[in-house]
Amino acid sequence: MIKIENVSKVFKTKSGLVPGVDDVSLSVDKGEIYGIVGYSGAGKSTLLRCMNILERPTTGKVFIDGVELLSLAKKELREARQSMGMIFQGFYLVSSKTVFENVTFALKAAGVPKAKRKDRVLELLELVGLQDKIDDYPAQLSGGQKQRVSIARALANNPKVLLCDEATSALDPGTTKSILKLLKKINQEFGITIVIITHEMEVVKEICHRCAVMQDGRVIEEGPTYEIFANPTESLTKAFIQTVLNFELPEKLLQNCTGTLMRLQFRGDIAGDAIVSDMLQAFPVRGNILHGKVEYIGDIPLGIFIMEMTGEQSEVDKAIAYLEGRVNQLEVIQHAR
Ligand SMILES: Nc1ncnc2c1ncn2[C@@H]1O[C@H](COP(=O)(O)OP(=O)(O)OP(=O)(O)O)[C@@H](O)[C@H]1O
């Protein structure tokens, strides 16, 4: 659906050239939700804006549905852009216009005849759950409601793709969940391909089928979201994942631990507790599970245990080697004291 080939963007500023995106290639399949995660300044917005040529890449190619956008004439590019809706962190609603007028505006701009606009706007506002706010002004709406209006506006002309630029970053966690649920519904019911850029790994975990991690303008890691969570390779990816999967043990508990403290991670299709009980039978060590939980990445479970192991160090080492061969990840957090 979207194919980015060796795209780079360099900004010319008074103080010199600033790299925004550096030789990125990726593709987003039709009907998927694709996340791009990275810290501020990583180049996410620039890359997203290159997808609809809001930002013209310095080099590289951008294909939408097989059409190379940079080769299009102005009029054709404008038409191609209509197949891509976009929403932003700051909503960008017109404050002097009502909810109804804000959405109608997109139809008017696309040349939809007046007689056809009203029904379409009502349909869109029903989809986003704002049918009772038609005559309200943006100032009367909450952040979540404003984002719903901007989603209705972005969908007005039946785009194939919805580009989301930090769409939930200004919202509280509860509202974020409800907006993500709406995006998921739009993806499932209408098959709209969604690209989301975010600095929150939680957003990726909630709804993205695949994701890319960006740093210094480059994509450093990419893959199905579950694989990225279960087997991250880059340290930045690991840091992002920790924000979702880590749980802090109380300081006092850590101080009282004299054994080897470890974090075990295993895929949902493995019974983690059975592995631990097999290990305890095979080696003369004691294992004390201090914490355990199962996180759902999309709909697939990922299990995490924190365990303290005590016993002869040589036996503990053997038990660790045994576990390493069976769980998906094992990290020693604190050595025996
Ligand atoms: N119009 C511009 N002119 C000059 N430099 C720019 C411009 N837009 C972005 N940049 C620079 O490009 C780099 C990438 O910025 P970009 O906004 O794409 O990152 P980001 O990951 O989206 O960060 P944020 O989440 O803070 O927006 C940064 O160094 C930024 O300063």
Tens of pLDDT along 72-116? Answer: 999 999 888 889 999 999 889 999 999 999 999 999 988 899 888
Closest atom of ligand 1 to CA, residue 197: 22
Quote the ligand 1 centre to 224 CA distance (angstroms).
26
Query: The pTM is what?
Result: 0.87
Closest atom of ligand 1 to CA, residue 38: 21
How distant, in Å, are the alpha carbons of 241, 252, 277, 316, 331 from that of 282? 32, 31, 9, 11, 20
7/24 Cα distance (integer angstroms): 5
CA dihedral 130, 133, 139, 143 (to 10 degrees): -20
Q: Output the pLDDT for position 269.
A: 66
Tens of pLDDT along 159-201? Answer: 999 999 999 988 999 999 999 999 999 999 999 999 999 999 9
Best of 46, 54, 163, 219 for a ligand 1 pocket test (most atoms within 8 Å of beta carbon): 46
Q: Give the closest residue (by CA) to ligand 1 atom 16.
A: 43
Ligand 1 contacts (CB < 6 A) are 11, 13, 18, 20, 38, 40-46
Q: What number is the ipTM of this complex?
A: 0.95
Could you tell me the domains of the chain?
A: 2-243 (3.40.50.300), 251-334 (3.30.70.260)
If you compute the radius of gyration of the chain from its CA atoms, what whole number of angstroms results? 24
Q: Give the closest residue (by CA) to ligand 1 atom 14.
A: 43
Q: Output the pLDDT for position 272.
A: 66
Q: Give the closest residue (by CA) to ligand 1 atom 17.
A: 45
Q: Which two tokens stand for residue 321?
A: 């080697």
Low-confidence ranges of the chain (pLDDT < 70): 247, 269-272
Q: Output the pLDDT for position 54.
A: 93
